[in-house]
Structures are given as structure tokens and as C-alpha cells.
Chains A and B, each alone.
Chain A
Amino acid sequence: MQLLKTLIATTALVGAATFASAQANPAVIFDLGGKFDKSFNEMSYTGAERFKEETGIEYREFELQSDAQREQALRRFAQAGNNPVVVAGFSNATAMATVAPDFPDTDFVIIDMVVDAPNVRSVIFAEHEGSYLVGVLAAMASESGTVSFVGGMDIPLIRKFQCGYTQGAKAANPDITVLATMTGTDGSAWNNPVKGGELTMSQIQNGSDVVFAAAGGTGRGVLQAAADAGIYAIGVDANQNYMQPGTMLTSMLKRVDVAVFNAFNDVNNDEFTAGIQVMGLAEDGVGWALDEFNEGLITDEMKAAVEEARAKIISGEIVVADYMADNSCPVE
């Protein structure tokens, strides 16, 4: 009994302390899978590090070990006065929706998912737009008239990549064949480079000469197999052009790092806005990578075509269908 009374008293004290602090004191939570997953957790980290470098302000971080810690992590940082609290990953939506209303003075940011609360910014990426652009490049680079796609786990988000890619390829060349394969149906599909390589080999045998990998760690195997067979490959999320120089046509960029950096920076400059923030081509949230590793592969004609498509998508002249809007794709 005595112990419980002490517990309650302490709870009340900690509760009261919540109101004390309100300075820019950012925190970032990494999802299951870890900080260095070569995917969005690592890009969150990159964005947070950039903020630290530019402003000299330290940030706090937490790597989730268990699904049961999601709420705790958000709550713990909010109670400690951290602001903003940023988390990447759709699985955190439920926890965010529960915690955010309890801390109206804290700014929360969730990436890849929408949570409707007055103090939450939901950042979502228009992956279909970026995929469309690399689809255009793929179709123009292809000599065989067949390009392909290797997805990680078969989830709507990955089909969104696939659907955008197919639309772009068909726009550049209506007669093109697009082969698509998903690596698997469970979490291991994100980290199975051997299978990724095998799938790529089979697509090459079926005539593909450009492959786009949206498959997390599995993508490494795809890029490797493409390099071994001497065909072009397209990376995803981060700029992966450096991984197989010479055969990397480009990479479809998804700038999670920018989202994290902006969130930190906006709070620091007192410019934070809640609500849905779509990071599409217009916001430079998605895009295609051009650097010293692939500049020899991108002809002026390709560059012109892809920039034209980009401008038309931004202006609204081209509307890229979003698979996740109605779970269907207008092209095969």
C-alpha cells in the first residue's frame, strides 16, 4: 500500500513537471529494425545529424525494441520536454493518436502515415511520382523493350512504387513490357539479397534490361545481379548510385532525412505547422538521383524527357495514379 501511495505521489509530481519546459529540444524515435537499416531509419538519423551539425543543438534518440514501447517512447520524450518528437514508420500511428492529445504543447511528427490531431504533422511521400520519373528513364534506357521491378514485401506501399514505375515506363514507350515480382510476404522479404538476385536473374532471362528495386536490403542483391549481368539497375530511398557504379541508371529518392530535418528546424525557428504535408516532386520530397556515378548513362534526351515529365506532374498536367488511393493500378 505504502509503495503504491508513493507511486501515485510521484506520478502526480512528474505530471506537474510536464508544463515546465518548452524550448527546441528535438527527439527522434527509430522503428523496429534499428537505426542503421539502410532505409528510412537511417535516413531519419541522417536528417537529425544534419540538424545537429548545422545548429549545434543536440537531439535525443530511442531505438524501439518492442511494439509495446511505442506509446512509452512518445510519452517519455514528451514528458521530458522534448520538442518536436519525430517518428518514422506507419506502425506508430495508433500510439501517436493516443499520446498526442495528452501533450497539446508538444509538436509531434509522424512520417509515412497520417494522424489527425492539432499538434501532429503527418509527412507522407508521393512515391508514385518519383517512381514515375525513374519509369520514364528505364523505358528510354531499355533496348530490349522489357523492364522490370523487384519489390520487397508485398504490401500496398510497395505496389504504389510499382504502379508509378509502370505508368512512367508506359508513358515513355507504350509498347514496353514491365515485369514485376515481389520478394515475399513477410518481413524477411526486406532483407533477402540472395533471393533478390535470383529474381533479377529470372527477369533478365525474360528479357529485362533495366530493373528497379524497391526492396530494402534485398535491393543489394538486385543491384549486384544487374551489375553482374551488365544491365541497368535503379536504387531506392537513398541515393544508391555509388553501390554499383557503371550499371546504376539512377535512384528513386525518398527524402525522409529532409522531413526529419525540416521538422527539427521548423520548431527551432518557431515555424512549425501541423497537418498533412505531402512531400512530392514539387517539394523535392521525392526525385531521381543524378551524380558523377550515372551522368554518363543519362543522355540529354533522357534528361529532357524526365525533366519535362517532372514539370508536368508538378503543374498537374500529368496525374500519376496512386495505388494506395483505391488499391488498384490503372496499368498492368
Chain B
Amino acid sequence: MNKNLPKWVDLGLIPLLTLMLAFAVSGLVVLSIGQNPIEVVKVMIQGAFNPFGIGHTLYFTTNFIFTGLAVAVAFHARLFNIGGEGQAGLAGVGVALVMLSYDWPHWSIALIVGTVAAMAFGAAWAAIPAYLQAKRGSHIVITTIMFNLIAGALIGYLLVGPMQAEGSLPESAKFPSAASLPTMYDMLGWFGIGFDKYAPVNISFFLALIAAFLVWVLIWKTRLGYEMRAFGHSEKAAVYAGISPLKITMIAMLVSGALSGMMAVNTVQGEAERLLLGAVEGAGFIGIAVALMGRSHPVGVVLAAFLFGILTQGGAELQFTLGIPAQMITVIQALIIMFTGSLENMVRIPLEKIFLNAGKRGRA
């Protein structure tokens, strides 16, 4: 936290301004391919919020909340977990294993065991890099990236071998339908409210919001969270205060891996209902951008995840309506990451000057 600035500027105004800068530059890119930026924004917003779009927007949002929280938790202990892809992928294997091993009688039980399996597999995949970092000093950025590749190879092996459905192409068998998680359509239907029947958003969306709340409790309301933040600010001071680096590194990464893993409840259990190759679809990496933009605060992460959900779904609409290639959205996402992640001082330093001057004048 920066002491030169009021909290609302630090948490609200700076992300907003950097975002607007990113959009301004994106607008120039849109102009350069001969499209009207205002029209593009209009189509994107309509695409993300119309009755057929919102269910997809929230579905993508759910993924990004999980992976964003995962990166954010690790950030607090100054650990850069780039392994969300692998952790979520392995969690998918975990979900598929428990779903296929037993005929779960009701979705509520399936949801609980699926979530536990996803968290356990995600955490387990994060545990090895965490241990190597804590004990051997192997840099977590390198090891988690390597573990993404190992996870990919392992999942590929499983889907063309032991877990492959008979005679089919690389995917697992379909999960028993009694264990299908309720979609938003089902849930709103209980209250007599209509919703897009085919939207993939499901009960995991609420799971994501609960996870965000619990992360807030963990980081700011528990002793463990305090230790993680202390460790993140200064390892030496933390050790001096009796905090074990091994313990904090392990716990932060296990929590982070478990959160990444929970994404599989949304994609593998909630949407596809079977394990597919490449089920994570880059959400592990988008989580990094979401955590950066959300300034590692759960509220910020949820809002940033929603923004990236809008971009993903609105971007699809750009293709349908204006024929703008999908890569355009990747460009916009990259610009947001660049401005919020690495060019933040471009906004911060002038703002600090303004507020410093205002403060002086106030006192004078």
C-alpha cells in the first residue's frame, strides 16, 4: 500500500485510469483495421450482456475469479504462481476420476466431492514447485511453468490411454447425468425466473464468490494471512518474527493451487461433464492479469475477472457481428496487462504529485 495516496485512489482511481489508457490504445488498433471503436465497444457490451451472452460472460468470469484469486494469494506471500494452467488441468483429472469412479446419487454430493478432488489435485500439483522453492531455492516462476508442460503431457497421456472413452477421440467418458451440476437456468428456474437455457454458467459461479470471500478472510482476518503478508513484505523481518518461510511458502502455494484447481469444477464438471484436452484454455494465464488488475484484493479480482469475462464473450460477438478476428481481443487483453502491470507508474507518479501538492496546499 502506498502511503502518499488515499486508499480510494490507490485501489480505485489508478486501475480505472490505467484501464482507460489501455482502452484508448486499443481504440487506435481498432481504427487501424478500419473499424469504428465506438461501434466495437457497443457490439462488445451488447454481446456480453444480451440474454444469450450474459450466461457465457459469467461462465468465463467464474474461471477467471478462481485463477485470479490463486495468483493473488500467492502474490501476498511474494510468490509468482504461473502454474495455474497445470494446476487447473490436473484438477480436471481429479474431478474426472471421482466423477467416473462412483455413481454419485445427487448433484450436491457430486459438487462437494468434485470440489474437494479439484482442490486436492490442484494443490498437489503446486506442492512440488513450492517445496523446491522453499527447500532448494528453485525459482517458482521457472518450476511452475515447467509443471504446466508436464501437466499437459500427463493429461495427454491419460486421454489417449487409461482415461480415454472407448473407441473415441481424446476425451474421457461422460460423467453420470445424476451428478450434473445445476446451471443458472436450473437455479433461477427454482424461483420461477427465466434464463438462457443453454448458457454454461452454473453453480460454480457462487462457489467462486464464496471463495473470494474466504480469501479475504484468510488474508486480512487470520493470523496465517498476516504471516503471509509479513513474509511477502520482508522475508528477513518475517523470519526475525518467528515466521517459518517453509511453512508460509508451502501454505500459500497449496492454497493457490487449490484455488486454481477449483476452476475445474466449473469447466470439467459444470460445463463439459467430461475431461477434454486443453480444458483450461489459457485461463491460468489470464488469472495473472486479473490479479494484477485487481491489485490482489478479492473484490478487485472479482471485478477484474468480470471485465475479462466481458472481453472474452464480447470478443466472440465481435466475430459474429463485425467479423473482427478473435486475435483482436488478445491484443486488448495484452494492452490491459501491459498498462496495469508494468506501466502503472505512468499513472501513479503524476497522481502522487497532484495529491502531494494538494496536501501541502491544504495544510498551508
Contact = CB atoms under 8 A, between A and B. Distances in A.
B156 A185 contact: yes
Nearest to B317: A76
A194 B175 CA distance: 37
B194 A4 contact: yes
B316 A187 contact: no
Interface of B: 50-52, 54, 56, 59-60, 152-153, 155-157, 159-161, 167, 169-171, 188, 193-196, 198, 200, 267, 271-272, 276-279, 281, 312, 315-316, 319-320, 323, 325-326, 329
For the complex of A and B, the 4 pairs showing the least CB-CB separation, nearest first, are A186-B156, A8-B194, A11-B51, A7-B51
Given A69-B316, A72-B316, A184-B156, A155 B195 contact: no
A161 to B, nearest CB: 14
B341 to A, nearest CB: 22
Given A32-B278, A67-B279, A72 B156 contact: no
A174 interface: no
Nearest to A89: B169
B155 A186 contact: yes
A289 B195 CA distance: 52
Interface stretch (A58-66, A199-207, A303-311): A58-66
Main secondary structure of the interface of A (DSSP, over half): helix
A76 B320 contact: yes
A98 B198 CA distance: 10
A60 B267 CA distance: 28
B167 A65 contact: no
B275 to A, nearest CB: 11
B196 A60 contact: no
Given A65-B326, A75-B198, A187-B152, 6 more contacts: A65-B281, A66-B281, A68-B200, A71-B198, A75-B52, A157-B169
Given A62-B320, A187-B156, A14 B278 contact: no
A175 B114 CA distance: 54
Given A4-B194, A68-B200, A154-B160, A14 B52 contact: yes
Contact of B160 (A60, A153, A327): A153
A61 B271 contact: no
A104 interface: no
Contacts of A79: 52
Interface of A: 4, 7-8, 10-11, 14, 32, 60-63, 65-69, 71-73, 75-77, 79-80, 90-91, 98, 153-157, 184-189, 324, 327
Nearest to B149: A188
Given A184-B156, A185-B160, A68 B194 contact: no
B50 to A, nearest CB: 7
A112 to B, nearest CB: 9
Contacts of B156: 153, 184-189
Contacts of B50: 10
Contact of A153 (B52, B60, B170, B279): B170
Contacts of B315: 65
Contacts of B271: 67-68
Nearest to A8: B194
19 contacts: A4-B194, A11-B51, A11-B194, A60-B323, A61-B319, A65-B329, A67-B272, A68-B60, A72-B198, A73-B320, A77-B320, A80-B320, A184-B156, A185-B153, A185-B161, A186-B155, A186-B156, A186-B157, A186-B160
Contacts of B325: 63
Contact of A187 (B200, B278, B312): B278
Contacts of B159: 186
Contacts of B279: 67
A63 B319 contact: yes
Given A7-B194, A10-B50, A157-B169, A65 B312 contact: yes
Contacts of B167: 156, 324, 327
Given A4-B194, A67-B276, A157-B169, A10 B51 contact: yes
A32 to B, nearest CB: 7
A184 B279 CA distance: 19
B281 A63 contact: no
B169 to A, nearest CB: 5
B316 A91 contact: no
A156 B161 CA distance: 12
A154 B277 CA distance: 13
Contacts of B56: 68-69, 72
A189 B276 CA distance: 16
A13 B171 CA distance: 38
A63 B326 contact: yes
B276 A91 contact: yes
A73 B200 CA distance: 13
A303 to B, nearest CB: 35
Given A11-B194, A186-B157, A60 B169 contact: no
A184 B161 CA distance: 12
A305 B204 CA distance: 61
A296 to B, nearest CB: 39
A155 B160 contact: yes
